[in-house]
Structure 1
Amino acid sequence: MRTIKLILALPVVALLYIGCSKDHNYDNYDAPNSGISGKLIDAETGDSLELRLNAGTVRYRQIDARYPAPVDYDIPLRSNGSFSATNMFAGTYTFVPRDGAFKYPDVNPVNVELRPNEIASVNFKVIPYYRISASINSNASAAANNVTFTYTINKSAANTTDILQEVIFMVGKYARLDETVSGERSQAGLINNWIVTPRATATTTPPILPADPVAGFTGVQRTFTIPLWADTGLPPGTYYFRVGVRTVAVGRYNYSKVIKATIN
């Protein structure tokens, strides 16, 4: 009887082996082998954007009749406006940039066909709310307490509604510099940044027109001197500096390029 039971069990074991064998993946999808990469470009100047890491996304969804309720996913933006995603399934997708300190004039998502074993390339033309140029004085000295930003904020031609809310000045030890990553300001553990609100005051240089403080603040070269270098907790040396601006409507900053300067 034991011999008969063993013989009857053998076909069952064989079927289980075949069903689990790696060579018989009849019920599995192919692994994702496609992807996308690209960049957000200033539509008016052709330059790369100056953003904070992850401060904005490219949103996508797959278009497939088998899935009538597709789910949205986001690809985070790098600080230069570039983005990439791999391990995606081949197919048709829509992509649209969003949630950053920029306008996307086209509004409509872009349809992209992702092919197996290929990385598609797509660039988006967007318009930053503001563009900032900045520099640090060459004779900057910790002892003289004269570390000064010279900067100009320009409003993009397409920005007709978003109002400038604040300007932020930053200094830090590393080239990655934004309002969340600055230096080691000793007072109350604050990071090394200083915020200026555009408004008409007696100390504004040059004076802002009281009737239109934002219009008076942009398009004009201005200066800002760090009030007391000793408060930064940083000894004389080489550091990184940056200027950022934020609009009323969007809680994201546009930035100048990072400036490397030596403080004597």
Structure 2
Amino acid sequence: MKRISFYSIYTVLLCVLFTSCDVDNYDGPNAKFRGVVIDKTTGKGIQTEQPNGFKIKWTELSWEYQDNIQPEYFWGKIDGSFNWEYAFGYAGSLYEVQPVQGAFVTPEPQQFSLEKGDYPNFTFEVIPFIHIDWEYALEGMELVVKFKATRPEGSTDENFYALSTTRLFISDKTKYVGGMNTGGFINDLSKRIKLNESDLGVEQTVRVELESGKKYYMRVGVQTKNPSNAYNYTEVAEITVP
């Protein structure tokens, strides 16, 4: 009886195994999509960080179970670009893609179809909550940074987000320097700047003493009280102190 029971259980397990294999034997992802989010004030990819900079929301609108359509999300990159390699292309497909949860006015989504092997490229132009003009120079071993923050036209049409944190971020370890990157900046060197609404449009100057013979990465970031607490940034600058 024990032997019969053993073989019965073994047979059932084999059936379950092979049945599972049959059910899960679907084709894998066969299409991709990519793009860039352009800062309207600079004409370049918006400067952000990864993760915690902005997300790409994408939805398969042609999903056969219409009552259960759910969007998916992934992080955009530090230079405003994004890339996704796990989509499914098929005849009659309909997708929607949209940058969201960033330090910018959310743009309208774009819809598209995907066939097997497709790799479309999308461009979104956005208005940042804060625009930052800046310049910097080394005076001996002292870094001098001058910047001016402004609210671009159209940045407050939908929501006005008060200023939160303004900081010169400096790192000697990573070029991915930023406020939401844990360990991504040197706290003692990354100066906080008191920036009020009345200071917008007024040039600010920050001075920091650096060490000789070291390489640093730095940029200015201004955070508003937006839902994602995302920063607006300058580009990352690399500085080597003689």
Alignment TM-score > 0.5, same fold: yes
Change (3 A) 1:105 1:74: closer
Q: What is the one-letter code of the residue matched to 2:143? A: V
Task: Find the residue that maps to 2:64 and give its secondary structure.
Answer: coil
CA contact (8 A) 2:107 2:124 kept: no
Does the 8 Å contact 1:136/1:259 carry over to 2? Answer: no
Q: Distance in 2 between matches of 1:262 and 1:165?
A: 30
Aligned sequence identity (%): 22
Are residues 45 and 151 of structure 1, via their aligned partners in 2, closer, same or farther at CA, if it must alter by over 3 Å? closer
Q: For 2:150, which of 146, 154, 171 is the aligned residue?
A: 154
1:197 to 194, 203, 207: 194
So what's the TM-score if we normalise by structure 2?
0.77
Which residue of the other structure, out of 224, 248, 257, is the alignment partner of 2:206? Answer: 224
Aligned to 1:209: none
1:105, distance to aligned residue in structure 2 (A):
4.0
Mapping 1:41-52, distance limit 5 Å: 41-52=38-49
Distance 1:195 1:92, change over 3 A: same
User: Residue deviations 1:134-154, cap 9 Å, x none?
Assistant: 23323142xxxx432111212
Counterparts of 1:182 and 1:28, CA distance in 2: 43
Aligned equivalents of 1:61, 1:241: Cα separation in 2: 36
Contact 1:133 1:257 in 2 (8 A): no
Distance in 2 separating the partners of 1:242 and 1:65: 43
- Work out whether residues 165 and 197 of structure 1, in 8 Å CA contact, stay in contact via their aligned partners in 2: no
Length, aligned pairs only: 213
Flag the 1:26–1:238 CA change in 2: closer, same or farther, 3 A. Answer: closer
The code of the aligned residue for 1:43 comes to K
Which stretches of structure 1, 4 residues or more, deviate above 6 A after TM superposition?
A: none
The 8 Å contact of residues 134 and 242 in structure 1, kept in 2 or not, is answered as: no
1: distance between equivalents of 2:189 and 2:138? 20
Contact 2:137/2:145 (CA < 8 Å) preserved in 1? yes
Deviations 1:62-117 (A, max 9, x none): 112621111221121000111111121112111111111111243xx321101111
The secondary structure found in structure 2 opposite 1:102 is coil
Structure 2 unpaired stretches of 5+ = 1-14
CA-CA distance at 1:28 after TM superposition: 4.5
**Displacement after TM superposition at 1:31 (Å):** 2.6
Residue 57 of structure 2 aligns with which residue?
59
CA distance in 2, matches of 1:253, 1:65: 35
Aligned to 1:253: 231
Alignment-mate amino acid for residue 56 of structure 1: F
Q: Which has the larger radius of gyration?
A: 1
How far does the alpha carbon of each residue in 1:214-252 deviate from its partner, in whole angstroms, 9 at most, with x for none?
1x31222220123xx47xxx5543312211000122411
Equivalent residue, structure 2, for 1:77: 76
Letter matched to residue 94 of structure 1 = E
Q: How does 1:7-156 map to 2 (within 5 A)?
A: 28-54=25-51, 55-64=53-62, 66-68=64-66, 69-90=68-89, 91-106=93-108, 109-141=109-141, 146-156=142-152
Q: Aligned partners of 1:258 and 1:147: how far apart in 2?
A: 15
Which digits, 9 at most, give the CA deviation of each residue in 1:26-83, with x for residues without a partner? 9944332111100101234422100011221111111126211112211210001111
**Cα separation, 2, equivalents of 1:103 and 1:32:** 32
Give the TM-score, by structure 1 length: 0.71
Q: Is the 8 A contact 2:35 2:122 kept in 1?
A: yes
Any conservation in 2 of the 1:166–1:247 contact (CA below 8 Å)?
Answer: yes
Instruction: Report Cα offsets for 1:190-223 as digits up to 9, x if no partner.
Output: 464222232xxxxxxxxxxxxxx41x31222220
